[in-house]
Amino acid sequence: MAVLRRRRLRLWYPSEIELDVIVKDNITMIMEISSVIMRSDLIIIKRKAELYMKATGKTVDRVLAITPYIGDKNPDYVRVMAERMGIKVITPEGMAGQGQ
């Protein structure tokens, strides 16, 4: 059975972040759903995962970024960059080469 929890964690002053966490079969996943993903978003997603681990003491098994569009001149580079950071970018099939 999947458990979906929405947590709001505070970052020092006065920031507040929203984080989607899925726990299924003892696998913890951090998920970011966005209408567009850019290079700068990957760093923020990675930091959210690190903050979750620090705040809860639990390890994160997967970090997912779900988007219909990669808003970058080179979307393949964004995918490679995400992979190196341990983030899996999920887009609809047939939209792998989009970007301007």
Q: pLDDT value at position 100?
A: 41
Answer with the residue of higher pLDDT: 49 or 5. 49
In angstroms, rounded to a whole number, what is the distance separating the alpha carbons of residues 67 and 92?
A: 8
Q: What's the pTM?
A: 0.75
Among 53, 65, 45, smallest CA distance to 28 is for 53
| CATH architecture for residues 3-90 | 3-Layer(aba) Sandwich (3.40)
- Domain range summary for the chain, segments of one domain joined by +: 3-90
In angstroms, rounded to a whole number, what is the distance separating the alpha carbons of residues 7 and 12?
A: 16
Q: pLDDT value at position 18?
A: 86
Q: pLDDT value at position 79?
A: 93
Residue 77 tokens read as 């580079």
7-26 pLDDT, tens digit each: 565 555 566 788 899 999 99
State the DSSP H helix or E strand holding residue 39, giving kind and residue range, or none if neither: helix 39-56
Among 48, 40, 44, smallest CA distance to 72 is for 40
In angstroms, rounded to a whole number, what is the distance separating the alpha carbons of residues 84 and 51?
A: 19
40-90 pLDDT, tens digit each: 999 999 999 999 999 899 999 999 999 999 998 998 999 999 999 999 999
